Structure 1
Amino acid sequence: MPPLTKLVDKLTITFLVDNNIEWFTQLPPGFTHEVKQHLTEHDPPLDPVTGAPLLDFENYCCGAHGFSALIETQVDGNGESHLTLFDTGPESRSIARNVASMEVPLERVERIILSHWHSDHSGGILSFLGLRRDCIKDISESTTIPTEEFTYAPCVVDLHPDRPIARGIAPNGKLIGQLNPDPTFEEIKALGGVVETHKEGHAVADGAIWVSGEIPRATEYEQGLLGAVRFVNKEWVPEEHIMDERYAAIDVAGKGLVIFSACSHAGIVNVVKDAVNKFKRPVHMVIGGLHLATPDLTDRIAPTVDFLANKLRPAPTYVLPMHCSGFKAKVALEHALGEGCVPAGTGIRVEVSGDWKAEKTLFAPTIGT
């Protein structure tokens, strides 16, 4: 039985944190560069001498090793839209700067979905909640509307329940470093976040977004994060599979699935297979870190690209390899998919509109051997 989600009429994605900044490469229809948004939509400052709009680099986005995407979904073309944040980047400063730069309406963000417990994805949660709290306070203090008529729902923080004490990297069994601690449930609650823990898949944003449960590990060559360890009972133990990782999927009318896989420790092939098996829908877009960057993962690139370009039918319209995908994987995907491989990055906005006429002709995808 497919997940109980609704077909989305309009999807807008704004990338708030990514390793990459991309200003100049030609992008497909529906993609908008950061600079264009600042110059045409964000009321840019004007030079006092020439009167020309300034490229205000001091207040543009910054890159950081992590991922965060603001997702706006609208089920009914004339209905209310919902804002959901998928991951928050690695620390407090990049999310704060980029939220301000992209003029995010913080008070409207209803939910933060954490893909998995790694600090390059969870590190901005507390900063974001603090900014949202302060924003609502500032609005309430400046309005003349009675307090009882001026309220905002608290922000839900959607988490896998298995929060680790600590995680680290130990190639060849030798610990070389520990990731920063993830925020605690208590710290999240102290900033007004409402903690929801989910081990199973579930729909959010009025049924527009599917948050997966644990991802089945079925692909032989996708063996998790090599050298990953977890601190348990006062010792470091191997934990390569990162079983708390989750993806998000949105089904756009007439287009198919838009899949967010922030780091793909489960393997992007496993992620896509699970989504296709659950929804029985074609894949329109694959977004996020594919975790193919490090030298020990190079041998996974070819079969991964072959799956996305040749074995999955129809192939995705677009693949956006971000965060931990790596240069070699991006080159291989561009070679296989051409303009279907999109060099997305921080500050880029993507708009996907539903097509209800095309919806009648969509068919279930197939996966070749």
Structure 2
Amino acid sequence: MVAKLKTVDKLTITFLVDNNIEWFTKLPPGFTHEIKIHLGEHGHARNPVTGVPIMEFEKYCCGAHGFSALLETEVEGSEPQLTLFDTGPESLSIARNIASLQIPVERISRLILSHWHSDHSGGILSFLRIRKDSAKIDSSKPCVVDLHPDRPIARGLAPGGLPNVIGQLATDPRFEEIEELGGVVENHPEGHTVANDTVYVSGEIPRITSWEQGLLGAVRWVGDEASMKGEWVSEEHIMDERYALVDVKGKGLVIFSACSHAGIVNVVRDAIDKFKRPVHMVIGGLHLASPDLLDRIEPTVDFLTNKIRPAPTYVLPMHCTGFSAKVALEHAMGGGCVPAGTGVRVEVAGDDEAEKRMFAPTVSL
């Protein structure tokens, strides 16, 4: 167990990048649509004739194939901590959505990268540039960029197996580029707590579930980066992947798994094993979208709904989860499967009385 992690009184999540935009579906208590945030909080211009706020869609968020979530953690008596988990795939979506949601970038003290894939790392330099250029920035409070040290030269996809590599992901930012924009690089292969000990970042995720076999067809270039001399090798397990979590008083663990190449069952089992706390929310890409992964959906849904007691209150299937898996989760969980997306804000408030009644969960396979 990681005893250093604090239980927080409140967690606020703002989704900055996701594949999906969702404005109209009914959401549970504590969830707020982007459109309501704009109309209720951001002071839209009003039509001079009707007097009604104008919905200026050019100032709203955009979706993109990737993931990024801003975590604000609060412990009574301490300053709230802002932590960014991933940055989406490129420079445009993160910049537009930060501006749209009026994110106080100067208050973000740490950026956590879940793993070295450009749909999660592609916005790092853009975010750091925006933060560096902010008029409100305090140069004495730099942003730590929390990374796994095993940065690849290149990664690609070979669905039919080597040597047929059909595409290479965009190159991840180099440590030197991050430092040039004011980021302070910290390399962490091990599990650790950040944000005044209110957020846990995992180390290597144990691969123990039989049907969770990584990203099929994933390959990595091994060789010399300067000359690009080397070869492609199979790398389906993406061992640098990490998850993050927050423990909310009276609610339990809120788990952030950006892509779940390790398998979401492995992620949740590791979190429960380490913290012995109920799971309140499972959030992020569940990596069940492509046709070759469809046989993983049924056992995954069964695990999340039947093999954990108590079962998670909510699952937010995002990014690379896929339509079929979302349908299966909604069928099994009803309103517990929440269609969150870019621009949605979630507030998870602690509960002192519920905390007194909490007990360690049980897990079976």
Do they fold alike, i.e. is TM over 0.5?
yes
CA distance in 2, matches of 1:11, 1:351: 6
* Alignment pair present for 1:361 and 2:357: yes
Residue of structure 2 equivalent to 1:217: 207
Runs of 4+ in 1 over 6 A off after TM superposition: none
Partner of 1:86 in structure 2?
A: 85
Question: Does the 8 Å contact 1:2/1:280 carry over to 2?
Answer: no
Instruction: Give, as a single letter, the amino acid of the residue that structure 1 aligns with 2:293.
Output: L
What is the distance in 2 between the residues matched to 1:3 and 1:341?
30
**8 Å Cα contact 1:165-1:231 kept in structure 2:** yes
The equivalent position to 1:139 in structure 2, one of 136, 139, 163, is 136
Counterpart mapping for 1:176-215 below 5 A: 176-215=166-205
Q: CA deviation at 1:164?
A: 0.1
Q: Are the equivalent residues in 1 in contact too, given 2:287–2:322 (CA < 8 A)?
A: yes
Deviates more, 1:43-52 or 1:246-255: 43-52
Q: Which residue of 1 aligns with 2:311?
A: 315
1:152-301 aligned within 5 A: 152-173=140-161, 174-233=164-223, 234-301=230-297
Please report how far the alpha carbon of residue 23 of structure 1 lies from its aligned counterpart in structure 2 after TM superposition.
0.2
Q: In percent, how many aligned pairs have the same letter?
A: 74
Q: Deviations over 1:267-317 (max 9, x none)?
A: 000000000000000000000000000000000000000000000111000
Name the structure 1 match of 2:328. Answer: 332
Aligned position for 1:124: 123
- Alignment deviations for residues 35-64 of structure 1 (CA, whole Å, 9 cap, x no partner): 000000011111122221011101100000
Distance in 1, Cα, partners of 2:6 & 2:45? 41
Deviation, 1:152, is 4.6
How far apart, in 1, do the equivalents of 2:279 and 2:187 lie? 27
TM-superposed deviation, 1:151: 4.9
Give TM-score, length-normalised by structure 2: 0.97
Alignment partners' CA distance in 1, 2:302 and 2:130: 43
Residues 3, 278 of structure 1: 8 Å contact kept = no
* Distance (whole Å) between structure 2 residues aligned to residue 302 and residue 84 of structure 1: 33
Deviation by residue 1:231-264 (Cα, 9 ceiling, x = unmatched): 0021000000000000001000000000000000
Secondary structure of 1:196 counterpart: strand
Q: CA deviation at 1:67?
A: 0.1
Whole-angstrom CA distance in 2 between matches of 1:127 and 1:46: 32
Residues 44 and 54 of structure 2 are in contact (CA less than 8 Å); yes or no, is this contact kept in structure 1? yes
- Find the aligned partners of 2:48 and 2:178 in 1 and give their Cα distance: 44
Deviation at 1:2, TM superposition (A): 3.2
Give the residue type in structure 1 aligned to 2:198: A
Q: Is the 8 A contact 1:261 1:290 kept in 2?
A: yes
Instruction: Please tell me the root mean square deviation across aligned C-alpha atoms, in Å.
Output: 0.9
Distance 1:2 1:281 in 2: 12
1:143 corresponds to: none
How far, CA to CA, are the matches of 2:268 and 2:184 in structure 1? 30
Distance 1:264 1:3, change over 3 A: farther
- The letter of the residue matching 1:52 is V
Q: How many residues align?
A: 357
What SS class does the counterpart of residue 12 from structure 1 fall into? strand
> 3-state DSSP class of the match of 1:100?
helix
CA distance in structure 1 between the aligned counterparts of 2:157 and 2:75, rounded to whole angstroms:
41
Equivalent in the alignment of 1:352? 348
* Distance in 1 between residues matched to 2:39 and 2:218, nearest whole Å: 43
Q: With structure 1 as the length reference, what TM-score do the two structures score?
A: 0.96
- 1:313 touches 1:367 (CA, 8 Å); kept in 2? yes
Provide the secondary structure at the position in 2 that maps to 1:236: strand
- Map of 2:67 onto structure 1: 67
d(CA) in 2 for partners of 1:152 and 1:189?
15
Q: Which amino acid in 1 is paired with 2:14?
A: T
Q: In structure 2, what is the Cα distance between the partners aligned to 1:367 and 1:201?
A: 22
CA contact (8 A) 2:121 2:172 kept: yes
State the distance in 2 between where 1:329 and 1:156 align.
35
Amino acid at match of 1:222: E
SS in 1 for 2:301: helix
Contact 2:106–2:136 (Cα < 8 Å) also in 1: no
Q: Counterpart of 1:101 in structure 2: which amino acid?
A: S
Answer yes or no: is the 8 Å Cα contact 1:107–1:152 preserved in 2.
no
Asked if the contact 2:46/2:53 (under 8 Å) is kept, the reply is yes
Distance, in Å, in 2 between the alignment partners of 1:110 and 1:91 is: 21
User: Distance in 2 between the 1:220 and 1:3 partners?
Assistant: 30
The 3-state SS of whatever aligns with 2:357 is: coil
